[in-house]
Amino acid sequence: MQPASKISVIVTTYNRPDALTAVIEACFAQDDPHFELIIADDGSTNNTRDCVEALRRRSPVPLRHVWQPDEGFRAARVRNLGTLAASGDYIVFLDGDCIPEKNFVSQHRRLARPGFLVSGSRVLLSERYTRVLLETHVNLHRLRAIDRLKLRLGGDFNKFLQTVMVLPDAGRERRKFSWRRIKSCNLAVWRSDLDRVNGFDQSFKGWGHEDSDLVVRLFNAGVHRKDGAFATEVYHLWHHENRRDQETSNREIVLRRAADGTRVATAGLQELAAELAPHA
C-alpha cells in the first residue's frame, strides 16, 4: 500500500468563526502532526480573518488562509482554491463546522490507498448541544464513552457506536458506485485524481450535489470508494439548512454525468489556475 507522504486538510468556512475555532483547535490536537491546514474561506468578513490570524500564530502545523469574495454559495470554487494552495499529495476536505476526532488525520492516512477515495462519516449534534459546546468550549476529545452514550440517549448525538469504536480496513471498498453518505464535509481524495478530473465543478449554481458530481466523475475515471465510517468521524455542529433552490437542477446534471460517463469538470482546477495566474 502506498502511504500518503503529505496530507493537506482543507477546511471550508463562511462567517462562523466560533465554529471554525473549535474545528481548528481539534486539528491542532491530532495524534498525527504530519499534515498542513488550508482554510478555504468563501467570502467571510474580517471577524473570520482576525480569528484565522490568531490561530495561525499558534498553529503547530503549517496553516494558510485563502479567501474569495462573497458572491453567493461557491463551495466548489473555494475547495478548488484550497486545493491549488495545498502542497500535499493527499487532500482531506473538512467543513468549518465539523469537529474531527483526535485520530482523524491518522485514520485517513491509514485508509488511503491509490485508486480509492474515502467518504468519511459524521455525527450530527443537536442545536442545544452545539450552543453549549461553543459557549463553554467543550473538548469532545475528552468525553468518556459514558458521556457519549448519555448524549446519544438525550438526543444531542445522532450516533454512539461510531464515536467509541474503530473498525478494521477490511470490507470498506465499494466497487459499485453509490451516492449514499457522500459528503464533502469529510472526504479524502488523492491530488493526482483531483487533477485528472479537474477538481470540483464551479459551474454548479447554488447549494447541492457538487460533491456528488465530483465523486461521480472520479468513479467514471476509475476511482473507487472506501467507506470511512467507524474510523473518520467528525462532529457536525448544528446550523440552519442552506437554501436549496438549485438542488433539483444540480441533481439532474449529476444523473446525466453518471449516465454519459463524464470525467472532467466544465470549470475546475485548470480554469481557476488560469484565472489566478495574472495575479500570482
Residue 251, domain CATH: 3.90.550.10
Confidence of residue 194 (pLDDT cuts 50, 70, 90): very high
For residue 51, give every residue at least 6 positions away whose Cβ sits within 8 Å of its Cβ, in sequence order, or none: 17, 20, 21
**Can you give the pTM of this predicted structure?**
0.94
- Determine, yes or no, domain membership for 2: no
Q: How far is CA 82 from CA 87, 95, 209, 272, in A?
A: 10, 12, 19, 11
Res. 280 pLDDT band, cuts 50 70 90 = low
Q: Which residues contact 261 (CB under 8 A, 6 or more apart)?
A: 220
Instruction: Report yes or no: 61 and 39 within 8 Å, Cβ to Cβ.
Output: no
137, amino acid identity? H
Judge whether 145 lies within some domain.
Answer: yes
Residue 206 pLDDT:
74
What residue has cell string 438549485?
246
Kindly report, residue by residue over 50-79, the tens digit of the pLDDT.
Answer: 999 999 999 999 999 999 999 888 999 999
Residue 1 lies in a domain: no
The pLDDT score that the predictor gives to residue 279 is 65
Average pLDDT rounded to a whole number, residues 22-39:
97
**pLDDT over threshold 90, residue 178:** no
Check whether 4 has a pLDDT greater than 70: no
188 found inside a domain: yes
- Answer yes or no: is 78 within a domain: yes
**Domain limits at 161?**
7-279
Domain count, the chain: 1
CA dihedral angle for residue 11, residue 17, residue 18, residue 19, rounded to 10 degrees: -30
DSSP assignment of 5-52, as one string?
SSEEEEEEESS-HHHHHHHHHHHHT-S---EEEEEEESS--HHHHHHH
The percentage of the chain sitting over the pLDDT mark of 90, rounded to a whole number, equals 81
DSSP 245: T
122-140 pLDDT tens trace: 999 999 999 999 999 999 9
Return the pLDDT at 250: 86
